Amino acid sequence: MWVGEAEGNTVTNTVTNTVTNTVTNTVTNKPRPFTTWWFWLLAGLLVFNAAQLVGLLIVGPALVDAVRFDALVVYTKWLKGKIPVEQPMFVDDTVLTSAFYRKHAPAGLEAMITGIPKAQRQALHIPAHASCAVVGNSGNLRQSGYGPQIDAHSVVFRMNQAPTKHFEADVGRRTTVRYTALHHVAALKAEPGVDLIVSGELNRFNMFAAQALPRLGDFRSVHIINKRFTDEVRAFTTHHTSSGIELVFLAIGLCQSVDVYGFGHQAPGLWDHYFSSAVTNLNLQAYPHDSNNEAATLRALDRLSYVRLFGGVR
């Protein structure tokens, strides 16, 4: 091989290797798409938009329902930590001597408090971590078959004079606590194994306390709802709040879990009961309830996992 030829080959190989290495290094060192800032920015935007879409699909119907029936206050109070309601639930000696009751308590309320027999001055029989069933009186309980499910709870709340006899398959047999309006107390049947909770406007105690007092010894314990508590609950609804909604919020504060049965209207403004064929027109009452608003309030509490709402049969 000639010397010139050898030198030519050397130069050729050097150039070839240089070009090859340059191309290889260029390809090797070229930034990959997933290591660039714009790739991660695009990926982040896609994830954010997807999360927004999922959020709208989940939250959207709930908010539409709440806005439509004026139940958005449930979500705003939830965000402010106002659920459960913070006010003391019952009137005791401490509450009765508070500035509010010293100013507003009627003689009839004081007579009720002092008239509770000693044997009935005991705590509610609600165990720790209680599973509670709040049983309303709606006609949607008919043919529901909820009876055994209701009785399986550790605590069963019932309202006013609602019966269980002849309706056990749908509403259950057990009653732990009966929640009633003051003017219904005189008509209640004696239930020595049941705790009684009485709710009423302060101005009604002077009218109905004398009728209620003789019946207080017919129950295991007796408790009077604190007016400040009911005022806080009423901020969740529009019109005059029903005792059923008050009871639901009471149970939320007392129980670890709350299942709600027997709430719901036959039609807007019309309430029926599982034990009667009569239908009540709420619009004709002196203090009308907004049945659409209360139903939406319960749906909001269900969506926020404070209760489980069982809709019954229609």
Q: Are 118 and 224 in contact (CB under 8 A)?
A: no
User: 137 or 94: whose pLDDT is higher?
Assistant: 137
- What pLDDT is stored for residue 290 in this prediction? 86
Tell me how long the chain is.
314
Residue 5 has pLDDT above 70, yes or no: no
Please report which confidence band the pLDDT of residue 8 belongs to, taking 50, 70 and 90 as the band edges.
very low
The reported pTM is: 0.80
For the stretch 216-251, pLDDT in tens is 999 999 999 999 999 999 999 988 889 999 999 999
DSSP E strand stretches across the chain: 131-135, 155-159, 177-181, 191-199, 219-224, 257-261, 270-273, 276-281, 308-310
Distance CA(183)–CA(205), nearest Å, equals 9
Cα-based torsion angle of the residue sequence 229, 312, 290, 157 in order, rounded to the nearest 10 degrees: -20
Encode burial over 62-94: b for 16+ CB neighbours within 10 A, e otherwise.
Answer: beebbeebebbbbbebeeeeebbbeeebbbeee
pLDDT of the residue at 287: 63
Q: At residue 52, does pLDDT exceed 50?
A: yes
State residue 10's pLDDT score: 47
Percent of all residues in the chain with a pLDDT value above 90, rounded to a whole number:
62
Q: How confident is the model at residue 180 (pLDDT cuts 50, 70, 90)?
A: very high
pLDDT band at 279 (very low <50, low <70, confident <90, very high): confident
Paired tokens of 229: 């508590």
Residue-level pLDDT at 101: 92
pLDDT, one tens digit per residue, over 11-44 is 444 444 544 454 444 444 555 555 677 777 777 7
210 has a pLDDT exceeding 90: yes
**Which residue has better confidence, 96 or 219?**
219
Give residue 126's pLDDT band: very low, low, confident or very high (50, 70, 90).
very high
Q: CA 157 to CA 198: how far, in whole Å?
A: 13
Say what the pLDDT of residue 31 is. 52
Give the pLDDT mean for 102-127.
Answer: 93
pLDDT interval class at 64 (50, 70, 90) = confident
Average pLDDT, the chain: 85
Q: Kindly report, residue by residue over 83-93, the tens digit of the pLDDT.
A: 999 899 999 88
| Mean pLDDT, range 183-188, rounded to an integer | 95
pLDDT higher than 90, residue 152: yes
